[in-house]
Chains A and B, each alone.
Chain A
Amino acid sequence: MTRTRKRLALALAVALAAGLGAGAATASEGAELPKQHWSFDGLFGTYDRAAAQRGFMVYNTVCAACHGLSLVAYRNLAGVGFKDDEIKAIAAAKEVQDGPNDQGEMFARPGRPSDRFAKPFANDNAARAANNGALPPDLSLITKARKGSADYLYALLTGYKDAPADMKMMEGMNYNAVFPGNQIAMVAPLAEGAVEYADGTKPTVPQMARDVATFLTWAAEPEMEERKRMGVKVLLFLIVLTAMLYALKRQIWKDLH
Chain B
Amino acid sequence: MAAKSYSNPIVKWIEYRLPIFSFLDHELNEYPTPKNLNYWWNFGSLAGIVLVIMIATGIVLAMSYTPHVDYAFESVERIMRDVNYGWLLRYIHMNGGSMFFIIVYIHLFRGMYYGSYKAPRELLWIIGVVILLAMMATAFMGYVLPWGQMSFWAATVITNLFSAVPLIGESIVTWLWGGFSVDNPTLNRFFSLHYLLPFVIFALVFVHLWALHVHKSNNPTGVDIMGPQDTIPFHPYYTIKDMFGLGVFMIVFMFFVFFAPNFFGEPDNYIKADPLVTPTHIVPEWYFLPYYAILRAITFNIWFIPAKLIGVVAMFGSILILLLLPWLDRSKVRSATFRPVYKQVFWVFVVDCFILGWVGANTPDAEFHGLKMLWIGQAATFYYFFHIIILIPLISVLETPKPLPDSISQAVTPGGAS
A228-B259 CB under 8 A given contacts A19-B358, A22-B361, A71-B74? yes
A223 interfacial contact with B, CB 8 Å: yes
Contact B77 A141 (CB under 8 A): yes
B288 interfacial contact with A, CB 8 Å: no
Among A25, A71, A257, which residue has its beta carbon within 8 angstroms of that of B35? A257
Contact with A along B214-258 (1 / 0, CB 8 A): 000000100000000000100011001101100110110011011
Contact A245 B244 (CB under 8 A): yes
B354 interfacial contact with A, CB 8 Å: yes
Nearest-Cβ distance from residue A174 to partner chain B, whole angstroms = 20
* Chain B residues with CB below 8 A from A241, complex form: 247
CB neighbors of A among B278-297 (8 A): 280-281, 283, 286
| Consensus secondary structure, chain B interface | helix
Contact A249 B244 (CB under 8 A): yes
Contact A141 B270 (CB under 8 A): yes
| Consensus secondary structure, chain A interface | helix
Number of interface residues of B (CB under 8 A): 55
Among B87, B350, B412, which residue has its beta carbon within 8 angstroms of that of A223? B87
CB neighbors of A among B48-73 (8 A): none
Nearest-Cβ distance from residue B329 to partner chain A, whole angstroms = 19
A148, closest chain B residue (CB): B267
Among A8, A223, A238, which residue has its beta carbon within 8 angstroms of that of B254? A238
CB neighbors of B among A1-57 (8 A): 1, 4-5, 8-9, 11-12, 15-16, 18-19, 22-23, 25-27, 29, 43
A145 interfacial contact with B, CB 8 Å: yes
Among A22, A71, A140, A252, which residue has its beta carbon within 8 angstroms of that of B358? A22
A interface residue count range (under 10 / 10 to 19 / 20 to 34 / 35 or more): 35 or more
Nearest-Cβ distance from residue B346 to partner chain A, whole angstroms = 10
CB neighbors of B among A206-257 (8 A): 220, 222-223, 227-228, 230-232, 234-235, 238-239, 241-242, 245-246, 248-249, 252-253, 256-257
Contact B267 A15 (CB under 8 A): no
Contact B240 A245 (CB under 8 A): yes
Contact B268 A231 (CB under 8 A): no
- Kindly state the separation between the CA atoms of A241 and B162 in the bound complex, as whole angstroms: 48
Among A5, A18, A71, A235, which residue has its beta carbon within 8 angstroms of that of B255? A235
Contact B247 A242 (CB under 8 A): yes
* Chain A residues with CB below 8 A from B299, complex form: none
Contact A15 B351 (CB under 8 A): yes
CB neighbors of B among A94-108 (8 A): none
* Chain B residues with CB below 8 A from A4, complex form: 337
- Kindly state the separation between the CA atoms of A23 and B362 in the bound complex, as whole angstroms: 9
* Chain A residues with CB below 8 A from B250, complex form: 238, 242
* Chain B residues with CB below 8 A from A16, complex form: 102
* Chain A residues with CB below 8 A from B236, complex form: 252
Contact B270 A145 (CB under 8 A): yes
* Chain B residues with CB below 8 A from A29, complex form: 281
A146 interfacial contact with B, CB 8 Å: yes
* Chain A residues with CB below 8 A from B332, complex form: none
A220, closest chain B residue (CB): B270
A180 interfacial contact with B, CB 8 Å: yes
- Kindly state the separation between the CA atoms of A231 and B259 in the bound complex, as whole angstroms: 7
**Complex A-B: 22 CB contacts under 8 Å:** A5-B38, A5-B220, A11-B350, A12-B109, A19-B286, A19-B354, A22-B361, A71-B81, A147-B267, A180-B280, A223-B80, A227-B91, A227-B258, A230-B258, A231-B255, A231-B259, A238-B247, A242-B248, A245-B240, A246-B244, A249-B243, A252-B237
Besides A231-B255, A238-B251, 5 other A-B contacts (C-beta < 8 A)? A9-B39, A25-B361, A71-B77, A239-B251, A253-B237
